[in-house]
Amino acid sequence: MRVLFHFYKQLVVTNVFLAFVFSTFAWSAPPIMLKIFAISLPTFAFVLTLFFFSQRSGHQYYLYRNLGYSKRHLFGFAWGINLFLAVAILYGASYYLSA
């Protein structure tokens, strides 16, 4: 788990930044902006983040492989956390807006 979190921490800044960039397409409508942010976190922004990470730091996958983790493990875990965050944000947003 510690190793998987280590990988996630390598991605999170870029992932959140890219999700924010995507969300700015709806700058004028904050509720939609929040939805786009949440949806892009485990989707477009995540795919782009993995692409950039592989291009820039692809050699680091060997570190995780030496600890017994394949790309599938790493991507699955990171995607799972992002999905959880996305659902939490969407749920929180709908609760807040309906209140």
Partner 1 sequence: MMNKLEIDSIFLSYRDNHILSDCYLECLTGDIIGILGRNGTGKSSLFEVIFGTLKPQNKFIRVDDKLYKKPFLKQLVGYLPQKGMFPEHQSVNRLLRLMLKKQTVELAFLNDQRIQKLWNQNIGTLSGGERKYFEVYIMLHMEHPFILLDEPFAGIEPIYAYEIENLIKLNTKSKGILISDHYYQHVIRVSSKLFLLREGALKAISDPRQLEALGYVPYGTF
Shortest distance, position 24 Cβ to partner 1, whole Å: 27
Interacting residue with partner 1 among 14, 16, 60, 90 (CB under 8 A): 60
Shortest distance, position 16 Cβ to partner 1, whole Å: 18
Q: Is 70 in the site for partner 1 (CB under 8 A)?
A: yes
Instruction: Name which of residues 9 to 28 contact partner 1 (CB under 8 A).
Output: 10
Please write down the long-range contacts of 92-97, taking CB distance under 8 Å and 24 or more positions apart: 93/31, 93/34, 93/35, 93/38, 97/31
Q: Which is nearer to partner 1, 5 or 96 (CB)?
A: 5
Q: Which of 62, 64, 39, 47 is nearest to 11 (CA)?
A: 47
8 Å CB contact between 29 and 98: no
Contact footprint for partner 1 (CB under 8 A): 2-3, 6, 10, 57, 59-63, 65-68, 70
